[in-house]
C-alpha cells in the first residue's frame, strides 16, 4: 500500500495538507564563516607610479592615504527615514490562459489543485481503497501533477507480488515520498524541465521505489546514491541533497582537461615531493585508476546531462576530491596513473588517497513507532525536529522570499577552499589561476579576505584586478571592496573582475557590488515565483504592520541593519518600504487569482540597481566567467551584459537561474537536507537563465599551452578584451558628444 503514501503526501492541496510539512530554512542571514572585525590597519606601500594608494581595513573607517586619494564616506550610508503608505489590496481578475511559453507554465501550475482535488473526490475515501485501487489513484495523481499522459496499470506500478517492506525500507520510502512531494509542489521550473528535457518524475520515483523494495538488506549509502541521482535528474545546479558524513579523500594534485586531453594543473609539493612524483604541471595524464582519464571523468558525471562543459569540469574536480557529504563514493588506498612527460615518454605512477574515515555510524537499525516493541518506560523518548526561531513579519518575509542564489554545496566549497588556500583551482578560492596581468604596482595585504591588485601592462595602462570568489561575503568584505573600487576609480584605466569558479551567494550582496560599478541605473531580471499559502500569510503580516508607519519604519531599521552590506538598506533608502509592500500585495493578488507560479515580477519590487551614492567605478570592465559560475555567478554577468556595462570573457556560465531554498526534515537515514529552485529568472530578452547560462561576448577556453606556460594565452586574451572595451567606450563617448 506504499503507493497510497504518494497519493496522500503529494496530492492533497497545500492549503489542506498536514501530512508533509517541510521546514524551510533560509541561509541568507547565516554567514558561512565568522570574520573577526578588522582593527585599524593602514597599508601605504611605496608604489611605482601609484603614490599613496592605500586601503584601511577597518569595518567602517576609511583612512585617506594622500590628498586626492580618499573615500568620502563609509559604505553603506545611514538608513533614511521611511514613509509607509496605507496598505490596500486590490483583487486581481483571473487572466486568460496563455497558449505557450513561460506564461503557460504559470497557468498550468494554478490548475493543479483543481485537478487533484477532483481526482480525490471521484475516488472516494482512500483509506477504504483496495491496494490495486490505491495504486491506480497514485498513478492518476502523479499524472495530474506531472502532466504524464502515460497510463500505468496498478499491476505494473506494483510489479510482481513483493514481500512487505521491512522497517528500514519503509523509512526509506517515507523519505523518498517527502523529497518527491516537495519537488512536485514547490519546484518552480518543473514545467520548464519537462518542456526542455522531457523530465519524467514519475518514472524516476517508481524506479527508486522498486530498487528499495527489491533489496531487503539495502544500505544507507545505496539509498543516498539513489536520492542523489534522482535530484541530479532535474538538471538543476540549485537542486542538491546533502548527507551527514565525515568521509572524504583527496589527492595532492589537480587534473584539468583542455583540447580533449587531461593535464596536471597543480601539484601540492608540500605533500608530494619531486622525488616521489617527478612530473610537472602541464604533463599529460593518460590513465587514471586503470582506465582512460576521459572514461574516469565520464563515470563521475551525472547520467542526466545539464550543461556539458559544467558537468565535465565538476567531474574533473571530483576526480581528485571526493566528499561523502555530497553523496560521493569515497575511495581509499592507492590509485594508479599513467603520465606522459614533456619528452613524450609515458610513465607509470601511483598515489595514495589522503583518506579521512567515516565517523558518523552507518546503517543503524531504524525505530518504527508503529511496530510492536518491548517497551521500557525508563527509555521512553520522542524525537522532535529542532524548533526554529520565529521572526517578525518583515524579516521573516525577507528570509522566506530571498533564500539564496548559490550552489547547494556552496558552503562546502568555501570550507574546502579555506582549508586548501594554496589551491587556486578550487571553487570559491580566494585567489584564482588568473595570472598577473603585468607589472605589480600594488596588491592588497594577505590578511584581507578579498584579493585585489593593480598591474601595469606593456602599454603603460594601469589595470585594476578584483577577485570575487563568491557572493557570500560579510559587511567587512563589502566595505573593503568599496575602498578598493573607490581607489581604483582614481588610479586605474580599467578593471578586470574575476568571478571564475564562483558558487554564488546572496542576491543583495551581488546587487551592492554592482551598484558600485555603474553611474547609471541597471535593470535586473524578472522572476516567476512559486508561491503558496505561507507566502500569502507572511505578506498579509507585512501589510498589517504597515498600518503603523512609525512601527514599520523602526522595524525596517532594526531588522535589516545587519543586511546593510547586502544592499537591502541601499535599495530601501531610495523607495522606502513601498517596494516590499507592493511585492506583498503582488503575492496576495497572484495567489487570489489562482497563480501559484506567478507572472514575471521583480523580487521585492526592486526594478533597478541604482548607482551607489559614495562609490562609482565608471572605467571599462571585463568580467571573467567560466563553467563553474553558479546562481549569483550567473546573474552578475547577465546583468552586466544586458545593460552593456562590461565585456564578458570566458566560457558559458553554469545556468543556475533562480533562487534556491533548503529543506530539512527529521529522518533516521543520514539525510541532512536538500534544496530546490523556487523562482525562474528571465533576462531582458525573455530567455531564462536556467540551463542556458550566460554566453560570453568573448569566448575563451583554457588550452594545454595555458596549463604549461602560466596561462599566457589567457592573459593576452584578457588584456585584448579590456583594450577593445576601452576603445569602444571612447567611441561611444565621442558619438554622444557629437550628437
pLDDT in tens, 644-670: 999 999 999 999 999 888 888 888 988
pLDDT tens readout for residues 55-83: 544 433 333 333 333 323 333 333 323 23
Distance CA 411, CA 323 (A): 13
| SS3 letters across 474-490 | CHHHHHHHHHHHHHHHH
Q: Which grid cell sits at 319? A: 576526480
| Residue 514's pLDDT band (cuts 50, 70, 90) | very high
Q: pLDDT tens for residues 27-66?
A: 333 333 333 333 333 333 334 445 445 554 443 333 333 3
Q: Where are the beta strands (DSSP E) in 577-668?
A: 608-609, 621-625, 647-650, 660-664
Indicate where the chain has its CATH 3.90.226.10 domain(s).
42-78+403-523+610-663+685-738
pTM of the model: 0.72
17: pLDDT strictly greater than 60: no
DSSP bridge pairs for 455: 440, 463
CATH 2.30.42.10 residue window(s) in the chain: 248-356
Q: pLDDT tens digits, residue range 246-256? A: 999 999 999 99
Write out pLDDT tens, residues 323-332: 999 889 999 9
| Cβ partners under 8 Å of residue 42, min gap 6 | 54, 56, 63, 65
Is 126:141 a contact under the CB 8 Å cutoff? no
Q: Is residue 392 over pLDDT 50?
A: no
pLDDT band at residue 717 under the 50/70/90 scheme: very high
Question: 608-609 and 522-523 as β-strands: parallel, antiparallel, unpaired?
Answer: antiparallel
Confidence of residue 600 (pLDDT cuts 50, 70, 90): very high
- Quick one: cell of 437? 596581468
Taking Cα atoms as reference points, which of 317, 512, 320, 319 lies closest to residue 407?
Answer: 317
CATH 2.120.10.30 fits 248-356, yes or no: no
How many angstroms separate the CA atoms of 593 and 436, rounded? 56
Which class is domain 42-78+403-523+610-663+685-738?
alpha beta
Amino acid at each position: 500500500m506504499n503507493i497510497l503514501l504518494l497519493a496522500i503526501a503529494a496530492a492533497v492541496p497545500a492549503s489542506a495538507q498536514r501530512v508533509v510539512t517541510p521546514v524551510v530554512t533560509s541561509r541568507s542571514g547565516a554567514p558561512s564563516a565568522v570574520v573577526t572585525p578588522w582593527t585599524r590597519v593602514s597599508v601605504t606601500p611605496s608604489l611605482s607610479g601609484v603614490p599613496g594608494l592605500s586601503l584601511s581595513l577597518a569595518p567602517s573607517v576609511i583612512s585617506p592615504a594622500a590628498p586626492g586619494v580618499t573615500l568620502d564616506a563609509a559604505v553603506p550610508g545611514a538608513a533614511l527615514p521611511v514613509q509607509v503608505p496605507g496598505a490596500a489590496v486590490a483583487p486581481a481578475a483571473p487572466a486568460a490562459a496563455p497558449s505557450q511559453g513561460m506564461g503557460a507554465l504559470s497557468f498550468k501550475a494554478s490548475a493543479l489543485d483543481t485537478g487533484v482535488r477532483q481526482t480525490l473526490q471521484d475516488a472516494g475515501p482512500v483509506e477504504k481503497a483496495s491496494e490495486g485501487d490505491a495504486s491506480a489513484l497514485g498513478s492518476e495523481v502523479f499524472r495530474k501533477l506531472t502532466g504524464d499522459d502515460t497510463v500505468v496499470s496498478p499491476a505494473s506500478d506494483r510489479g510482481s507480488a513483493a514481500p512487505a517492506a521491512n522497517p528500514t525500507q519503509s523509512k526509506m520510502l517515507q523519505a523518498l515520498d517527502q523529497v518527491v512531494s516537495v519537488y512536485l509542489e514547490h519546484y518552480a521550473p518543473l514545467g520548464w524541465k519537462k518542456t526542455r528535457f522531457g523530465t519524467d518524475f514519475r518514472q524516476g520515483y517508481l524506479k527508486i521505489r522498486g530498487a528499495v523494495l527489491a533489496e531487503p538488506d539495502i544500505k544507507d549509502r545505496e539509498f543516498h546514491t539513489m536520492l542523489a541521482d534522482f535530484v541530479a535528474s532535474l538538471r538543476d545546479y540549485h537542486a542538491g541533497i546533502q548527507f551527514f558524513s565525515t568521509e572524504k579523500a583527496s589527492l595532492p594534485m589537480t587534473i584539468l582537461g583542455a583540447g580533449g586531453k587531461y593535464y596536471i594543473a597543480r601539484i601540492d609539493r608540500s605533500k608530494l615531493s619531486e622525488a616521489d612524483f617527478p612530473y610537472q604541471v602541464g604533463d599529460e595524464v593518460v590513465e587514471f585508476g586503470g582506465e582512460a582519464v576521459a572514461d574516469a571523468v565520464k563515470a563521475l558525471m551525472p547520467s542526466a546531462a545539464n550543461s556539458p562543459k559544467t558537468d565535465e569540469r565538476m567531474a574533473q574536480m571530483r576526480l581528485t576530491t571526493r566528499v561523502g557529504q555530497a553523496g560521493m563514493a569515497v575511495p581509499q588506498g592507492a590509485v594508479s596513473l599513467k603520465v606522459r612527460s614533456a619528452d613524450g615518454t609515458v610513465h607509470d605512477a601511483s598515489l595514495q588517497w589522503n583518506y579521512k574515515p567515516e565517523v558518523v555510524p552507518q546503517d543503524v537499525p531504524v525505530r518504527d513507532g508503529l511496530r510492536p516493541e518491548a517497551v521500557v518506560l525508563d527509555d521512553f523518548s520522542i524525537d522532535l525536529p529542532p524548533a526554529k526561531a520565529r521572526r517578525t513579519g518583515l524579516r521573516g518575509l525577507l528570509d522566506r522570499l530571498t533564500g539564496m542564489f548559490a550552489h547547494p554545496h556552496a558552503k562546502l566549497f568555501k570550507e574546502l577552499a579555506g582549508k586548501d588556500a594554496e589551491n587556486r583551482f578550487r571553487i570559491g578560492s580566494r585567489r584564482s589561476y588568473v595570472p598577473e596581468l603585468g607589472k605589480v604596482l600594488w596588491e592588497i595585504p594577505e590578511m584581507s579576505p578579498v584579493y585585489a591588485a593593480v598591474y601595469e601592462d606593456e602599454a603603460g595602462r594601469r589595470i585594476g584586478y578584483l577577485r570575487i570568489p563568491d557572493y557570500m561575503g560579510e559587511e567587512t568584505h563589502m566595505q573593503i571592496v568599496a575602498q578598493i573600487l573607490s581607489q581604483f576609480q582614481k588610479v586605474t584605466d580599467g578593471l578586470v573582475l574575476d568571478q571564475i569558479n564562483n558558487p554564488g551567494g546572496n542576491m543583495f550582496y551581488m546587487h551592492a557590488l554592482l551598484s558600485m560599478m555603474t553611474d547609471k541605473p541597471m535593470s535586473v531580471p524578472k522572476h516567476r515565483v512559486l508561491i503558496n499559502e505561507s507566502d500569502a500569510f507572511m505578506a498579509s503580516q507585512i501589510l498589517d504592520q504597515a498600518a503603523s508607519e512609525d512601527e514599520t519604519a523602526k522595524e525596517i531599521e532594526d531588522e535589516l541593519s545587519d543586511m546593510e552590506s547586502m544592499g537591502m538598506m541601499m535599495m530601501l533608502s531610495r523607495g522606502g518600504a513601498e517596494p516590499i509592500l507592493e511585492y506583498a500585495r503582488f503575492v496576495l493578488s497572484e495567489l487570489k487569482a489562482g497563480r501559484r507560479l506567478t507572472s514575471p515580477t521583480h523580487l521585492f519590487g526592486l526594478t533597478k540597481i541604482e548607482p551607489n551614492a559614495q562609490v562609482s567605478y565608471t572605467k571599462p570592465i571585463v568580467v571573467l566567467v567560466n563553467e563553474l559560475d553558479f546562481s549569483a555567478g550567473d546573474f552578475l554577468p547577465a546583468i552586466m551584459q544586458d545593460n552593456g556595462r562590461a565585456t564578458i570573457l570566458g566560457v558559458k556560465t553554469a545556468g543556475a537561474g533562480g533562487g534556491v531554498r533548503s529543506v530539512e526534515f527529521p529522518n533516521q537515514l543520514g539525510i541532512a537536507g536538500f534544496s530546490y529552485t523556487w523562482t525562474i529568472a528571465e533576462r531582458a530578452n525573455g530567455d531564462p537563465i536556467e540551463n542556458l547560462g550566460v554566453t560570453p561576448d568573448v569566448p575563451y577556453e583554457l588550452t594545454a599551452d595555458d596549463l604549461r606556460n602560466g596561462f599566457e594565452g589567457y592573459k593576452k586574451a584578457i588584456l585584448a578584451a579590456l583594450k577593445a572595451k576601452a576603445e569602444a567606450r571612447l567611441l561611444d563617448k565621442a558619438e554622444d558628444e557629437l550628437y
